[in-house]
Amino acid sequence: MAWECGIDGCNAVFEDVESTIVHQATEHTRQECKVCGTVVPDGYLAIRHAFTEHSRAEYVRAYGASSEEVRNREALLEEIDDVADMEAIATELKR
């Protein structure tokens, strides 16, 4: 299965989800969380931060997201959580 980066304007494709997330965290500009101001890697890790550190209501308020966008992101998180080796990603990012 191929994974696409998914960040606007970037069509990079990777063989595994870990490479995709490492790519997002290293090749893309870090983003400031609109809820708490923490600077987080773009892409999956930004979404993960928003949904694990903040409530859905906070996310909707800060990002002006529709309920469909929230559902899409939650589905994406679940899908990636199932397959991603977060330890491998963390190790890779510490280098």
Binding site for Zn ion (CB under 5 A): 5, 7, 10, 12, 33, 35-36, 38, 53
Closest to Zn ion by CB, 62 vs 88, is 62
Q: Which residue has the tokens 């063989």?
A: 15
CA distances 26 to 10, 19, 20, 49, Å, are 13, 10, 10, 16
Closest contact distance (angstroms) between CB of 35 and Zn ion is: 4
What residues does 35 pair with on adjacent strands?
A: none
Closest contact distance (angstroms) between CB of 21 and Zn ion is: 10
Closest contact distance (angstroms) between CB of 62 and Zn ion is: 8
Closest to Zn ion by CB, 12 vs 65, is 12
Q: Which residue has the tokens 């909707």?
A: 60
